[in-house]
Structure 1
Amino acid sequence: MIFFSILITIFAYFLGSISSSILICKILRFPDPRNFGSKNPGATNILRIAGLKIAISVILFDILKGAIPMWLGYHLKMSPIFLGATAIFSCLGHMYPIFFKFYGGKGVATAFGVLTTIDLNLSMVMISSWALTVLSFGYSSLGAIVTAFIIPCYAWYFQSQYLLPTIIISSLVVIKHASNIKRLWHHKETRIWRN
């Protein structure tokens, strides 16, 4: 069982390393998201480049990248320790993909996919906190940052055995948003509905 648990954790990283935004843009001949706009290969930048439909497809793919390894882990009855590791490695793959010189997205959708499989309540908290923040202030990045700070509290309440992995994932999300935090602080961040 430990052998299969390790395999699934490794699989989670490699699956996470598949960047749907880069591949879709290459197939459909859109600009490489790493060289356009915010230069981030994530859904918000894809919205600017290719429109809503393509951005939604990127979000769905990134959610599945986080959910599939977790589903496999649950099916094989992996221990919470290995499930937590699988969750972290899914997000690490997305953020630092081996197939794209370790330059990836910010992990929000993949984290959502992971947390959805851990507990539906956590996914509802993520959706509501992100949506309320974005609707109130207009910044997708601020929604992600606020949610990253909130979600460990709810993980402690709903699924305390996954508190540490949730803290690690949330910290990674905040770290990946460092440039956004600087732009928000200096009032230079772009609102989502003006792009």
Structure 2
Amino acid sequence: MIATVILMICIAYLVGSLSSAVVICGLYGLPDPRTAGSKNPGATNVFRLGGRMPATLVLVMDILKGTVPVYSSYWMGLDPLPLGFIGLAACLGHIFPLYFDFKGGKAVATAFGVLLPLGFKLAGLLILTWAMTVFIWGYASLGAIIAVCFAPLFT
């Protein structure tokens, strides 16, 4: 069981290290998001650089980077504490990607993906909180911060 946990933590980190923004920008012929726009490899910057479709793909891929390792580990019968470390590893992979000189993004979408297996009600509340904040103040980053602050309360 310990070997499985260690293996899944390593896999989660490696999956998290795949920079969706860099890959999608490369496929669409867009500039490297780490050197253009806000210089942040995330969906918001990709939206600025290339529009809705590339940004949506980045967002979905970043969410899946958190969801897939945690869901997979859950179905393997791992306990909640190891699942937390697996989710953390996916986020750390996004923030410090092995494949991109340890320079990554903020892991907001990946963290959301990690929380998604906890339940769709939680996910819905987080999305609603983010959307309301963005609607009121117009900043996606502020929406993420406020949603993260409310996550423990919602849980």
Same-fold status (TM-score > 0.5)? yes
Q: Does 1:47 align with 2:43?
A: no
Instruction: Give % identity.
Output: 46
d(CA) in 2 for partners of 1:52, 1:136: 21
Question: What are the within-5 Å matches in structure 2 for residues 155-170 of structure 1?
Answer: 155=155
1:84 is displaced (CA, Å) by: 0.6
User: After the TM superposition, which parts of structure 1 deviate over 4 Å for at least 4 consecutive aligned residues?
Assistant: none
d(CA) in 1 for partners of 2:54, 2:27: 12
Q: Which has the higher contact order (CA 8 A, sep 6+)?
A: 2
1:54 is displaced (CA, Å) by: 0.7
TM-score, normalised relative to structure 1: 0.77
1:27 is displaced (CA, Å) by: 2.5
Question: What are the within-5 Å matches in structure 2 for residues 1-195 of structure 1?
Answer: 1-155=1-155
d(CA) in 1 for partners of 2:93, 2:119: 21
Conservation of the 8 A alpha-carbon contact between 2:28 and 2:54:
no
Amino acid at match of 1:128: L
1:121 is displaced (CA, Å) by: 2.1
Q: How many residues align?
A: 155
Gaps of 5+ in 2: none
1:10 is displaced (CA, Å) by: 1.0
1:88 is displaced (CA, Å) by: 0.8
Aligned CA RMSD, in angstroms, stands at: 0.9
Map Cα deviations across residues 118-165 of structure 1 (whole Å, 9 max, x no partner): 22222112101100000111110110111111112222xxxxxxxxxx
Higher gyration radius (CA):
1
TM-score, normalised relative to structure 2: 0.96
Gaps of 5+ in 1: 156-195
Map Cα deviations across residues 12-61 of structure 1 (whole Å, 9 max, x no partner): 01100000110111222211101111100000000000100110001011
